[in-house]
A and B are shown apart, each in its own frame.
Chain A
Amino acid sequence: MKISKLWLATLLGAQLAFKSLAADNADTNRDSDIEALKQQVNALSQEVEALENQHAAEQPAATDAGNDQIQALDQQVRILARERELDQDAAAEAAKTQPKLQVGSNGFIASSADSNFVFRLDGVIQVDSRSFFNDSANKNANDGFLLRRVRPIFQGTLYRDFDFKFTPDFAPSSGPTIFDAYGNYRYEPWLQLRSGKFKTPEGLEQLQEDVNISFNERSLVTDLVPNRDVGLQLWGDIKGGVLSYASGIFNGVGDAQNSSNAAFENEVEFAGRLFTQPFKSSDIAPLQGLGFGVAGTSQNGTSNLKDLPSTTGGTLAGYTTDGQQQFFAYNPINRTVNASGEHWRLSPQGYYYYGPFSLMGEYAISDQGVSSTTVGLPHNKTDYADLQNTAWEISGGWVLTGENASFNGVTPLHPFSPHNGEWGAFQVVARYEELDIDNAAFPVFANPGTSASAAQAWSAGLNWYLNKNIRLNASFSHTTFTGGGGVGTTAPAIVTRQPENVFFTRIQLAF
């Protein structure tokens, strides 16, 4: 209303002023008219000014009230925003206390919110085929498909520092066998104590996870080192694995043997291993994957079960070829062989990984004290010897698709997905290996007519990593023998009679 008045007065004033100017030349009394008009304009001006002042006086009050309202609303908005923020923080905090469950390429993992308790289910299934060529002596006796490993793996952590692992294998025809069953106390990564059944810290190739070995079977070197054993081991990784050590006491087990779950005998085996990756933490990329070390065992034993690879010729585990056929046994004619005296092993070892390239080498000595006693003679005669068997291998690989090779396997950059034109990773691998039996073993401790005194083999293969969990292998292995090959219808005679040529395939599912 007041604004309207203001406009009205202004308009009226303007009209009057215009009229007075128009009459300027015509009206003789213009001076008095002008004066009157001036007064009128002045009066209107004063009224306008008064109205302006009144309006100005009312404006701050209105502004203050509006500002208060705006500020109150602003505070409400800020409070709501802050409450939302706090709710989100609370939700995030609450989530931290919830157990975590993961299912993925690393298996099934359940853990407490603080990760102090972890349970993990992994598994390995390996379906192999072996096809032997030119094996006329035992044709069709050794070809076929087999379940090489069927292992659910239960592992985890209790109270943050206590780890456990349990690995049975359902593949052996003799029935389920325990491979790993141990507890591990982790004071720090560099100081850990493990107890139970696990791999003796000796062979490099043997210590590599089964799912990551380059070929279907490990090389002849692994014939001379222990597999799993029951014992106690102090071990650790210093500076993130720049230096690793392991030192343990075990029941003791023969070469390549997986121990039984109990051995109530006085003799024990000591084992130690030092391995370094000196450049692992350095900036020198080409050397980061270099690792080398040495390992050894020592045992004073007279137990054939614990010391010898096998007590007689035949199908028992012993020194076997890549095709897992026995080519050597302590099988002298009319004699029995027993472990007698010290059994020690030594294994310098190393590997080198750089980009797609991989190289591994290992040498092993297994020095075995043995005795051999005549059978069936009026006066038994016993001979003693200290037999030193040796083996070495060198293997290499190249990942054709460019992924990095490592001791822990290959992870494809582009998992198999034909719809997207992705095929996984391909790796070619090759290996040469030899095993040499001490000449003193023949004929008193082994039959030179059936057991070979040496074996030499080469292998080549292709590994196809479809993804992190599925891998297909195909490889060929050719083994020749020195000695053996005589009369007989069982191994080692039928094995050493001709070179072994075997084609392997594998479908591996590991998660």
Chain B
Amino acid sequence: MRTFLKILITASLAVSTGAKEIKLLNVSYDPTRELYTEYNAAFAKYWQAKTGDTLTVSQSHGGSGKQAQSVINGLEADVVTLALAYDIDAISSQAKLLPADWQKRLPNNSTPYTSTIVFLVRKGNPKGIKDWDDVVRKGVSVVVPNPKTSGGARWAYLAAYAYALENNNHDDAAARDFITKLYKNVPVLDSGARGSTVTFAQRGIGDVLLAWENEAHLVLKEFGADNFEIVTPPLSILAEPPVAVVDKNAKRHHTTEVANEYLKYLYSDEGQEIAAKNFYRPRNEAIAAKYADNFSQLKLVTVDQEFGGWAKAQQTHFADGGVFDQIFQPQN
């Protein structure tokens, strides 16, 4: 009987060590839903073949700034794939969930793919929008999200600002005047890029949407090329959406290994192909050449060149009391 009892107690203990599940949470920005839906399936298949483990990756999407704040406030992301480095810097500096030099851990400053900002107009381009000057014309209604909450909106803002600087001998006053005119043409500010897509494409508001390149292609795919056109301006900005493992969360969830591999795999041929197919510009040159038809040629300026890096750009333009707060007045 004593032996039986010992077996019972030991068995109770042994039962506790049997079960195991692997789950990852990828907190991302607004327009990457389709990209990561496809990528997650591919990576889970790869991971199962490699380790035998079944992996489930959950996705969370929203404006990049809002998403970063959610992680800071406790959303337990194992990895973040946000619209711009500044948002991941904020997670590092405010919540100390990953080291300050996180961007050095993966190639290309932890940016496995790039993108840019283009114009999406209604079929036939009734307002004749071809360049940034057309966007600030009186009577042109522009749809773009709020740069306070959306990474894509910050890229769009800086693209327009960079254009104005380039065309005005880097006269900041002229550029500020230009950006003021642009936001006077904005009737609605959504909190994220996907919201602006809804505003423009589904709600039928505005003449032009300042959109992520991949988002513009998605609209053509979803709503039909007979309803919209993509206009690529001669100059735009090189948008670099970075990725990072949120170390402390991953460690707590015992997912550090799989989280690291999840991001590294974005640089693999399969990862790069999936990015290109979803209209993100791949880093891999061979795959970029293969999908060259997906991407128009244009002059791309960088945040570092034009604005002295993200920290400075954020402080100057998007922080409370910055240029955006000074020039933007809601229309209603």
Contacts and interface: CB of A to CB of B under 8 A. Distances in A.
B2 interface: yes
A294 to B, nearest CB: 6
Contacts of A295: 8
Contact of A79 (B10, B21, B188): B188
A270 interface: yes
A370 interface: no
Interface stretch (A164-172, A238-246, A319-327, A432-440): A238-246
A210 interface: no
A243 B15 contact: yes
B203 interface: yes
B8 A245 contact: no
B236 interface: no
Contacts of A271: 9
Nearest to B18: A238
B19 interface: yes
Nearest to B66: A93
Nearest to A239: B19
B205 A79 contact: yes
Contacts of B10: 272
A78 B205 contact: yes
B187 interface: yes
B73 to A, nearest CB: 8
Given A79-B187, A79-B188, A191 B8 contact: no
Contact of B190 (A86, A188, A235, A367): A86
Contact of A234 (B1, B13, B18, B203): B13
B11 interface: yes
B74 interface: yes
A191 B1 contact: no
B272 interface: no
Nearest to A236: B16
Contact of B187 (A75, A85, A297): A75
A238 B19 contact: yes
A374 interface: no
Contacts of A238: 15, 18-19
A297 B9 CA distance: 8
Nearest to B15: A245
Contacts of B195: 86
Interface in A254-289: 270-274
A82 B332 CA distance: 12
A195 interface: no
Contacts of A367: 1
B81 interface: no
A86 B187 CA distance: 13
A491 interface: no
B12 interface: yes
Contact of A272 (B8, B19, B188, B205): B8
B4 A245 contact: no
Contacts of A294: 8
Interface in A37-88: 75, 78-83, 85-86
Contacts of B203: 78, 81-82, 85
A188 B17 CA distance: 12
Contacts of B49: none
A190 B19 contact: yes
A246 B5 contact: no
Interface in B46-89: 74
Given A78-B205, A234-B16, A236-B16, A296 B8 contact: yes
Chain A's interface: helix, strand, loop or mixed, by majority? strand
A342 interface: yes
A93 to B, nearest CB: 8
Given A78-B203, A82-B199, A82-B205, A344 B13 contact: no
Contacts of A114: 74
Nearest to B205: A78
A298 B16 contact: no
A82 B197 CA distance: 12
Nearest to A271: B9
Contacts of A85: 203
A334 interface: no
Interface string A78-111: 1111110110011000000000000000000000
A456 interface: no
Contacts of A79: 187-188, 205, 332
B161 to A, nearest CB: 25
Interface string B1-45: 110111011111101101101000000000000000000000000
Contacts of B115: none
Contacts of B12: 234, 245-247, 272-274
Given A296-B5, A296-B9, A298-B9, A82 B16 contact: no
A190 B8 contact: no
A370 to B, nearest CB: 17
B188 A346 contact: no
Contact of B2 (A81, A90, A344): A344
Given A81-B203, A86-B188, A272 B1 contact: no
A136 interface: no
A297 B4 CA distance: 11
A110 to B, nearest CB: 18
B204 interface: yes
B214 interface: no
B92 interface: no
Contacts of B19: 188, 190-191, 238
22 contacts: A79-B205, A80-B332, A81-B203, A82-B188, A82-B199, A83-B188, A86-B188, A114-B74, A234-B13, A236-B16, A238-B18, A245-B12, A245-B13, A247-B13, A247-B16, A270-B9, A272-B5, A272-B13, A274-B15, A294-B8, A298-B2, A298-B9
Interface of B: 1-2, 4-6, 8-13, 15-16, 18-19, 21, 74, 141, 187-188, 190-191, 195, 199, 203-206, 332
Q: Top 5 A-B pairs ranked by shortest CB distance?
A: A272-B9, A247-B12, A272-B12, A245-B15, A296-B5
Given A247-B12, A247-B16, 17 more contacts: A79-B188, A85-B203, A86-B190, A188-B21, A190-B16, A191-B16, A245-B11, A245-B15, A246-B12, A270-B9, A272-B8, A272-B13, A296-B9, A342-B2, A344-B2, A346-B4, A346-B5
